[in-house]
């Protein structure tokens, strides 16, 4: 089963995907992880990706999508996988569908997370990430704090704040880009009948763990 996580930055994609991954024992996959793995192993696609990343350029879809599909074909993703933050646009979604179909697979479920914009900004400002690259668990100081301040519950590494998570204007710019480039995916997957939308909001009291529990009930 292939699950996609959609939603603007700060809606809780990483938190929900992480909870699903923990319970189901399915890998939580991001393009950043895939790029790093392929570049480290110096695969043909990794070598090509490095050429763009080293220049600060976006890796073309022709390289990114095959990398994602190759990751989905690895043994730990045999029963299921959760794609966190991919695809990011319609072109990637269409290419992903095509390559998955060639391998007898498909996107089975798309989780679209929403939150009030003012909550998103506050949430991102309070986001902390595990500094251990093998872990990278995401926390929120107000909604999903670590047991021990500044320390990852899972591996004991120090938690850090990403540089662009401390700038309100940078956060707003990222939200604007999401609405322009990625939001059309909601319509794309709605038409396919595989999209489920959940709101995460402190006002309603529904947090990431509540949404994760609802999703697990649906697919288990």
Local confidence pLDDT in tens for the 220 residues of the chain? 999 999 988 898 888 998 999 999 999 998 878 888 888 899 998 898 888 888 777 788 888 888 888 898 899 998 999 998 889 889 999 999 998 898 888 999 999 999 998 899 998 999 999 999 888 888 889 878 999 999 999 999 999 998 778 888 888 888 888 888 888 899 999 999 999 999 999 888 888 899 999 999 988 7
CA distance 220 to 216: 6
Q: Tell me the two tokens of residue 184.
A: 């059309």
- The answer to whether residue 155 sits within a structural domain is no
The domain total for the chain is 1
pLDDT in tens, 143-162: 789 999 999 999 999 999 98
- The answer to whether residue 85 sits within a structural domain is yes
Residue in this structure with the two tokens 């095509």, named with its chain if needed: 98
pTM equals 0.79
- The answer to whether residue 154 sits within a structural domain is no
Q: Which of 51, 103, 162, 203 is catalytic?
A: 162
Q: Which of 71, 95, 123, 127 is catalytic?
A: 127
- The answer to whether residue 214 sits within a structural domain is yes
CB 183 within 8 A of CB 113: no
Number of helices (H) and strands (E) in the chain: give both, helices first.
9, 8
Q: Which of 88, 95, 128, 136 is catalytic?
A: 88
- The answer to whether residue 187 sits within a structural domain is yes
CATH number of the domain where residue 48 is located = 3.40.50.300
CA distance 198 to 210: 10
- The answer to whether residue 146 sits within a structural domain is no
- The answer to whether residue 151 sits within a structural domain is no
> Vertex 71, ends 67 and 76: CA angle to 5°?
175
- The answer to whether residue 125 sits within a structural domain is no
Q: Which domain holds residue 9?
A: 2-115+182-219
CB 4 within 8 A of CB 111: yes
Is 162 among the residues known to form the active site? Answer: yes
């Amino acid at each position: 089963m292939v699950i996609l996580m959609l939603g603007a930055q700060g809606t809780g994609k990483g938190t929900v995907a992480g909870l699903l991954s923990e319970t189901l024992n399915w890998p939580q996959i991001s393009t950043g992880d895939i790029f790093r793995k392929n570049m480290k192993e110096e695969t043909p696609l990794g070598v090509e990706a490095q050429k763009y990343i080293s220049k600060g350029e976006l890796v073309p879809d022709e390289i990114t999508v095959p990398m994602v599909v190759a990751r989905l074909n690895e043994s730990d993703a045999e029963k299921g996988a959760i794609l966190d933050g991919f695809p990011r646009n319609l072109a990637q979604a269409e290419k992903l569908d095509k390559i998955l179909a060639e391998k007898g697979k498909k996107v089975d479920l798309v989780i679209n997370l929403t939150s009030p914009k003012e909550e998103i900004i506050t949430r991102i400002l309070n986001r902390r990430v595990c500094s251990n690259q093998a872990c990278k668990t995401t926390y929120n100081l107000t909604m999903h704090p670590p047991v021990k301040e500044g320390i990852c519950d899972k591996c004991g590494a120090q938690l850090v704040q990403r540089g662009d998570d401390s700038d309100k204007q940078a956060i707003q710019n990222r939200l604007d880009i999401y609405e322009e480039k990625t939001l059309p995916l909601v319509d794309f997957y709605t038409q396919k009948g595989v999209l489920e939308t959940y709101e995460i909001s402190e006002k309603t009291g529904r947090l990431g763990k509540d949404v994760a529990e609802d999703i697990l009930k649906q697919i288990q």
